[in-house]
Amino acid sequence: MTKRRRLSDVVNQELTEPAPAAEIEPTPAVEQPEPTPAAESETVPAKQPAEEPTPAAKQPTPTKSQSTSKSKTTPHYLTLVRKETRLKEEQFDELSKLSRKLNRQRKSTGDRITENTLIRVAIDLLLSQSDKLEGKTENELRESLSLPPDE
């Protein structure tokens, strides 16, 4: 029985040492591998809040000089730390509309603007205003930044 590999492991392996096609074993379509204890622990039930990743899972954020040298070999999304977030349906709908609108307005080629791009920009904006941020609840935090209270 073969061990299931994550997409990031496969991509990293391909980037470091590509294997000839003859060495790659085809995966049978019918056979399903049994879940490993690690895979079960990664699953978060819907009603429980998502837990912070373990320190070993966190990766350092690349500096500007590191990211430019890596960008030629590693896709941008692989240089980022994965973090799950919970959004309201209307927030996600508006993010999707905004990203589509911004992509239609683009005149040049390059990285497309995704919902994740907009979320990262919003986080940078929030962090730049962190000196104004105060409160114990989400609505108090919103009010400290002159945002309307959540409905």
DSSP-assigned states of every residue in 104-134 = HH--S-SSPP-HHHHHHHHHHHHHHTGGG--
Question: Per residue in 115-136, pLDDT tens?
Answer: 999 999 999 999 999 999 999 9
Side-chain half-sphere CA neighbours of 49 within 13 A: 2
Longest CA–CA span in the chain (Å) reads 61
Closest Cα partner for 99 from 72, 124, 118?
118
Question: Per residue in 42-84, pLDDT tens?
Answer: 444 444 444 444 444 445 555 554 545 554 688 888 899 999 9
Closest Cα partner for 24 from 8, 49, 2?
2
Full-model pTM: 0.51
Percentage helix, strand, coil, to 5, in the chain? Answer: 45, 0, 55
